[in-house]
Amino acid sequence: MVVDKTIYEEINILKKKKNAVILSHYYQTPDIQDIADFIGDSLALSQQAAATKADMIVFAGVVFMAETAKILSPQKKVIIPDPLAGCSLADSCRKEDFQKFIDDNPGRTVVTYVNTTADIKALSDIACTSSNARQIIESLPPDEKIIFGPDRNLGNYIKGLTGRDIIVWNGSCHVHEQFSLEAILKLKRENPGSKIIAHPECEMPVRIAADFIGSTSGLLSFISRDPGKVFIVATEPGIIHQMKKYQKDKLFIPAPPKDSTCGCSECNFMKMITVEKIYKSLKFEEPEITVDPEIIERAALPIRRMLEISAKLGL
């Protein structure tokens, strides 16, 4: 979509006037990534939300990310340009069901991926993201029994890596479960020497075929250090904008979905955010993210615990 140049100027004026920052996830469209003050994966964005001196955060991402920012900085105004920008993974874990899962499996430490609602975080002992999940699990005593939620693919991947006693909630992300192994392998055959890189939310067959598995920031650093020239990218294709910036002479091919007629490897929730909506939300300071103060108090504990461990490990 063509956006009037003045909208970018207006965004800059409003940001200064209101001491606001725009935080963007790598899955946002290139125009949004390019106007953001900070781009990152879920971990980096939560670290940034905790550290920023701004009075207002405009979150170009999905609701659970903006909620995490609000939980970490309750005194700040956190704006989400479209409140319907949800997450199928967060939706696959409802509070009452997860509470029952915890009650049915007593004595286990509850580790949850940040892709959850604030209510689920409030039920958790420690949070993690895809870039620190392994280290968070390994920071717990070796005999600790663990519940991991909500992503079954990330959970089973970490369970395999660590060999820990983990029971995994049966949730998933509709985007990462869409990749077609057959089409990915066909692309690899057609591009000799290419490497498959995958997010850990992908299903097991794709993870097994992958040359490298990592969070969005993990994938970015891999393509920078690896001598390969062609990469088949099994995660939301928004990340490819940064990959091309990092490595101009390399080729990045989005992994195809099972249904070749749909654009379903794009996260429809992430793509609900537009530059126009960012402008409007900055101007009118809404829709604002609000979280019940009691939930904030409980949900902040697992996130802060994760941030402390990550800081100690230099992540």
Specify the residue, 82 or 236, whose C-beta has the smaller distance to ligand SF4. 236
* DSSP-derived secondary structure for 208-260: HH-SEE--HHHHHHHHHHS--SEEEEES-GGGHHHHHHH-TTSEEEEPPBSST
Report what 269 binds from ligand SF4, ligand 13P, none; CB cut-off 5-8 Å by kind. ligand SF4
The residue among 280, 259, 309 whose CA lies nearest residue 60 is 280
Specify the residue, 139 or 265, whose C-beta has the smaller distance to ligand SF4. 265
Shortest Cβ 100–ligand 13P spacing (Å)? 25
Q: How far apart, in whole angstroms, are the C-alpha atoms of residue 27 and residue 217? A: 11
Shortest Cβ 104–ligand 13P spacing (Å)? 27
The residue among 225, 310, 238, 281 whose CA lies nearest residue 59 is 281
Specify the residue, 11 or 136, whose C-beta has the smaller distance to ligand 13P. 136
Task: Please choose, out of 52-60, 128-136, 158-166, 189-197, the segment that lies near ligand 13P by the rule CB under 6 A.
Answer: 128-136
Give me the torsion for CA of 14, 16, 18, 23, rounded to 10°: 80
Write out the two tokens for 74: 């309750």
Site for ligand 13P in 151-180 (CB under 6 A): 173
Q: How far apart, in whole angstroms, are the C-alpha atoms of residue 126 and residue 298? A: 11
Specify the residue, 80 or 173, whose C-beta has the smaller distance to ligand 13P. 173
Q: Does residue 266 interact with ligand 13P by CB under 6 A?
A: no
Specify the residue, 90 or 147, whose C-beta has the smaller distance to ligand 13P. 90
The residue among 201, 226, 194 whose CA lies nearest residue 216 is 201
Q: Does residue 41 interact with ligand 13P by CB under 6 A?
A: yes
Task: Please choose, out of 76-84, 129-137, 139-147, 279-287, the segment that lies near ligand 13P by the rule CB under 6 A.
Answer: 129-137
Among positions 46, 92, 130, 274, the unique one binding ligand 13P when judged by CB under 6 A: 130
Beta-carbon contacts of 255 under 8 Å, excluding residues fewer than 6 positions away, are: 179, 180, 183, 184, 187, 196, 198, 206, 232, 233, 234, 235, 265
Specify the residue, 39 or 146, whose C-beta has the smaller distance to ligand 13P. 39
Shortest Cβ 293–ligand SF4 spacing (Å)? 26
The residue among 82, 84, 102 whose CA lies nearest residue 93 is 102
Question: If 0-12 CB within 10 Å is exposed, 13-18 middle and 19+ buried, where does residue 306 land?
Answer: buried
Q: Does residue 115 interact with ligand 13P by CB under 6 A?
A: yes
Shortest Cβ 138–ligand 13P spacing (Å)? 18
Judged by the rule CB under 6 A, the positions of this chain that interact with ligand SF4 are 62, 87-89, 115, 173, 175, 236, 267, 269-270
Q: Using CB under 6 A as the criterion, which residues of the chain lie in contact with ligand 13P when the complex forms?
A: 41-42, 115, 129-131, 173, 199, 201, 215-216
